[in-house]
Structure 1
């Protein structure tokens, strides 16, 4: 099954349409690090992470693990760990996954640019909790927490997230990632 994300901030799944947030740079077919765009394409979800101090373990059919305060994600194009999970402290530029704003209380890693990662093609692309008012993301897809829980509970490993650019069709996406879940 494909779950479709449209550039206008809607997601279609199982006969339902729901609001979502996409990147402040829109949806791009040529994703670049730091452009704020959500990459167009057809992607697997690699794993689910959650804040155990805020949420019970989610019922999912994907690898899942609780976040820890030291979890991060490398977004430094010059580092060998680019677009991979890391442990903080970490010398290279990275994103902290243990956030106070609740956006990463529940997230799924989208299999973008990870088979293998190519420096500069985009990192840390997640399906996560939406900010109030569905404010644009830095390139992720974000949903209300109840919608995100519903999708992740139903998700099967052979399903794909299809991000469609304005007026276009999404393509590609590889099955296997290089980074360890």
Structure 2
């Protein structure tokens, strides 16, 4: 596949569903429970309509063991969290437990972050309340809506990973 852009198009019928196109590959996905938005705000449950570069990734070490990808993938530690507290200096950054402010747990029991790719939404240039933890990750049963991320089936993530590189663009239309 020569494409460097992963297109995320809305799927008909349900605002929290999408179709991903990467070259000739097309797969179903889930997006935010509130659908898509151009005015992303912290906690709104929407996926930003934007072009976001892939920065890096995380994997849960005790689950998927061998990932074929040129993208830098770090192992999720037991104490790894992601700050989603807009008025904290660590907003939209990984932090370590214990952390008393609002945060996301990276080592989730539901397996959604067993493979989790970080999208450059409000990461390299942060602004308070613009949204945090916008990831490309695994989907739960029934393609449940996300809190604003893009999520795919583990089988589809494995198909996409060999082509995922730092700087690839995830473009939500």
Tell me whether the two structures share a fold, i.e. TM-score over 0.5: yes
- Does structure 1 residue 117 correspond to structure 2 residue 126? yes
Which has the higher mean CA deviation after the structures are superposed, 8-17 or 34-43? 8-17
Please say if residues 107 and 129 of structure 1, whose CA atoms lie closer than 8 Å, have aligned partners that are also in contact: yes
Match of 2:94 among 85, 104, 114: 85
Please say if residues 72 and 166 of structure 2, whose CA atoms lie closer than 8 Å, have aligned partners that are also in contact: no
DSSP 3-state at the match of 2:58: strand
**Which aligned segments of 4 or more residues in structure 1 are displaced greater than 6 angstroms?**
none
For each residue in 1:59-112, what CA deviation from the matched residue of structure 2 results, as whole angstroms up to 9, or x when unmatched? 221211110111110000110000001111112110101111111111101110
Alignment-derived partner of residue 149 in structure 1? 158
Q: Distance in 2 between matches of 1:65 and 1:11?
A: 25
Alignment-derived partner of residue 7 in structure 2? 4
Match of 1:139 among 123, 148, 151: 148
Kindly tell me the number of residue pairs found equivalent between the two proteins: 164
Q: Distance in 2 between matches of 1:155 and 1:54?
A: 20
Match of 2:67 among 48, 58, 78: 58
Q: Distance in 1 between matches of 2:147 and 2:166?
A: 25
Alignment-derived partner of residue 17 in structure 1? 26
For each residue in 1:10-46, what CA deviation from the matched residue of structure 2 results, as whole angstroms up to 9, or x when unmatched? 1111212110000001011110000000011111111
In angstroms, what is the RMSD of aligned CA positions? 1.0
TM-score, structure 1 normalization:
0.87
TM-score, structure 2 normalization:
0.91
- Does structure 1 residue 39 correspond to structure 2 residue 48? yes
Q: Which runs of 5+ in 2 are unaligned?
A: 12-17
DSSP 3-state at the match of 2:113: coil
Which has the higher mean CA deviation after the structures are superposed, 13-22 or 29-38? 13-22
